[in-house]
Amino acid sequence: MSDDDSAVARERVIESMEQSAEVYGLSRSAGRIYGVLYFASGTLSIPELVEETGYAKSTVSNVTRTLSRIGLIHRRSSTGGGRRVQFEAEREVWFILQDVFQQYIQREVQTTLRTIRRAEEQVPADAREQEPIQNLRETYEDLEEIVQLASEYSAAELREALETYEQ
Amino acid sequence: MSDDDSAVARERVIESMEQSAEVYGLSRSAGRIYGVLYFASGTLSIPELVEETGYAKSTVSNVTRTLSRIGLIHRRSSTGGGRRVQFEAEREVWFILQDVFQQYIQREVQTTLRTIRRAEEQVPADAREQEPIQNLRETYEDLEEIVQLASEYSAAELREALETYEQ
DNA sequence: CTGTTTGTTCGGCTCAATCCGAACAAACCA
DNA sequence: TGGTTTGTTCGGATTGAGCCGAACAAACAG
C-alpha cells in the first residue's frame, strides 16, 4: 500500500464532499476546503489552504468565513502564537446535520406553517379551497414535530428510535 | 370575506411554495406551477398553465416535464377526451418528501458510503487518516438506516416513533 | 387536404454565482 | 522605521441556470 493509493482514496472522499456541498447549497470550493481541513492532522491557515487547494487567497478567505458562520469549520484564533488565523474542521458530521436541521429546515417548515395557518383563517370554512390547505397544514404540523425531535437526538438514538418502533 | 382575500391567501401559500422549491433545488417557476396545480379544482393543460402563471409556453413545457419526472405532478394523458395533456398536482406532500428521501438523499448517502468504504480499504490500518474516516463511515451507516426507515413510514408514524421513544 | 391548436426543441438573452487578481489594511519582524 | 506576511475587500471575467420567442412537429377539425 503506497502513499499514492492513500492520497487517491482521500481525494475521492474529498470529491464526494464537494458533491455533498452542492446538495446543501454550498459551492464546490466549500466542499473541498472542508474536506482538506477534515483530513488535516491539526489546524490550517489560509496560506496553507491556498497551497493545498489551489484556490486564490480571496476565495479561501470568503469560503472560510461562510463555513465558519454555518459551523462546518471553527476559527481557532490562536492570537497567542502568531497572527495567523487557524481553521479546524468540525468532524462530528451529525452535529453539522443537526445544525442544518435547526437553522434551515426547521425555519423553512415554520415559516411555511405560519403562512398556511394565516391562509386558513382567511379562507371561509365553506370554500372549496379549505380542504387541500387543511391537509397541507396537518402534514406540516407533523413535519415540524419530526424535525424538532430529530434535531435533538444523536444519530444512533434516532436510528434506535426508528428501528424499535412497531406499529 | 371577499374573493380577493381568498385569492391573496392562496397567492401567499403559492409564494411559499416558490421558496420551498428553491430549497429542494428546483426553480421558482416550478414552485409556482406546482402551487397553481395544487389549488386547481381539477387538472390543467399547458395553455391553461400559461394563462394562470404568465410563463412562456416553452417554460411551462420544460417545467412540467421536470415536475412529472420527480413525481410532484402527474401527467393525465387523457387521450380519450382531447389531445390536450392534463396535469394534476400530487397533493400528498408526504409522498413527495418520501420520494425526495428515496431518490436523492438515499442515493447521496449510499454513494458517499461506498466511497468511504473504498477509501477505508485502501488506507492501511496503522495510518493516521484511519480514525476520522472510520468515524465518518459510522455516521453514514446510521444515516443510511435512518433514511431507509424514515422513507417507509407515514408522517404520523414517524412522528409517533420519535415521540414515544425513550432513552 | 388545409388550417388551427397543442406541445417540444432550439438558440439567445439576462442575471446571479463563483472565482480570480489587484488593491488595500493590519500585524509582525528585523 | 521599512519590509514582509497575512487577511479582507473590491471590480471584473467566466460560467451556468432560467426564461423567452421562434421554429418545428404532431394531432385534430372543418
Last residue of a domain, one of A63, A89, A115: A89
Nearest chain B CA: its distance from A125 CA (Å): 10
Q: CB–CB of A86/A73 below 8 Å?
A: no
Cβ proximity of A96 and A72 under 8 Å: yes
> With a 7 Å cutoff on the CB, does B58 touch strand D?
yes
| Inter-residue contact B40 to B13 (CB < 8 Å) | no
**Is there a single domain that holds both residue B109 and residue B41?**
no
Cα–Cα distance between B157 and A167 in angstroms, integer? 8
Q: Is the same domain home to A106 and A82?
A: no
| Closest C-alpha among A103, A56, A12, A28 to residue B122 | A12
* Residues B107 and B84 grouped into a single domain: no
B84 touches strand C (CB under 7 A): yes
pLDDT higher than 80, residue B151: yes
Domain boundary among A89, A110, A143: A89
Q: What is the mean pLDDT of chain B?
A: 90
Q: Tens of pLDDT along B4-46?
A: 778 899 999 999 999 999 988 999 999 999 999 999 989 999 9
Q: How many interface pairs between A and B have CB atoms less than 8 angstroms apart?
A: 158
* A143/B112 Cβ within 8 A: no
Which triple of cell numbers denotes residue B60? 411551462
ipTM of this predicted complex?
0.89
Residues of A 112-131 whose CB lies less than 7 Å from any atom of strand C:
none
One domain for residues B83 and B99: no
C-alpha to C-alpha distance for B32 and B17, rounded to whole angstroms:
7
Same domain, A69 and A145: no
Q: Which domain holds residue B32?
A: 3-89
pLDDT in tens, A18-29: 999 998 899 999
Same domain for B122 and B159:
yes
Q: Looking at the 3D structure of chain B, how many domains does it have?
A: 2
Smallest CA-to-CA distance from A13 within B129, B104, B25, B100 is with B129
Q: What is the pLDDT of residues B67-87, one digit of tens each?
A: 999 999 999 976 544 568 999
Q: Report yes or no: B122 and B156 within 8 Å, Cβ to Cβ.
A: no
Instruction: Return the minimum-mean-pLDDT range out of A68-82, B51-65, B127-141.
Output: A68-82
Q: How far is B157 from chain A (nearest CA, A)?
A: 8
A94-149 pLDDT, tens per residue? Answer: 999 998 888 889 999 999 999 999 998 887 766 666 788 899 999 999 999 999 99
* Whether residue A106 is found in the same domain as residue A50: no
Q: Do the Cβ atoms of A140 and A109 come closer than 8 Å?
A: yes
Take residue A90 and report the three cell numbers written for it. 468540525
Angle at B21 between CA B155 and CA B53, to 5 degrees: 120
CA/C1' separation A30–D11 (Å): 22
Interface of A with B in 60-89 (CB under 8 A): none
Q: Say how far apart CA A93 and CA B54 lie, in whole Å.
A: 43
The Cα B18–Cα B81 span in angstroms is 32
Does B58 lie in the same domain as B24? yes
| Boundary of a domain, candidates A34, A65, A89 | A89
